[in-house]
Amino acid sequence: MGRLAGPQSKGQILRAWIRQTKEQREVLDRLATAPPRPLANPPSMRRRMALLCYVARELPDGLGIAREHRPPYTPDMRWLVEHGYLRLERVRAGPGRLWSFLVLSNSGQRRVSAYDLPQTDWNWIAAAFHHGMLK
């Protein structure tokens, strides 16, 4: 017969502790190799285009917003939605829960394909995402 609910064996406890420690070390390694915090923000149109290019290249399924470990719905994101470059989609995630995603629209795809993003703006948007400093 199998075990019912009860205390775990020492081996199970040890394996769980090892797995948890490994995950914590991976998080610390990611933080150690993180890009430096951006000191200054580019002008508004360059910020918006950097955000649009980042969503297009790095997040093809869409950018989840306004929930845990995700960026808030910022004024730059709102501007991109109002001008038709991004679409705000809501996905049901259970009873009474909706998740919001920003998805690239056709006009946004055309805009990204015609825009050459400078490396400095790319570095800024990557650092801003990592440090939670989006405008």
| Residue 42: partners with Cβ closer than 8 Å, 6 or more residues away | 50, 120, 121, 124
- Token pair in block for residue 105: 């629209």
- CA dist., res. 76 & res. 93, Å (int): 26
Q: Which long-range contacts (CB under 8 A, 24 or more apart) does 33-40 make?
A: 34/130, 34/131, 35/123, 35/126, 35/127, 35/130, 35/131, 36/127, 37/127, 37/131, 37/133, 38/124, 38/127, 38/128, 38/131, 38/133
pLDDT at 31 over 70: no
55 is written with which tokens? 């969503």
Q: What is the mean pLDDT of the chain?
A: 86
Give residue-wise pLDDT tens across range 38-66. 778 889 999 999 999 999 998 888 898 98
Give the global pTM.
Answer: 0.70
Domains and CATH numbers, the chain: 44-131 (1.10.10)
pLDDT digits (tens, 9 = 90+) for 80-108: 999 999 999 998 888 888 889 999 999 99
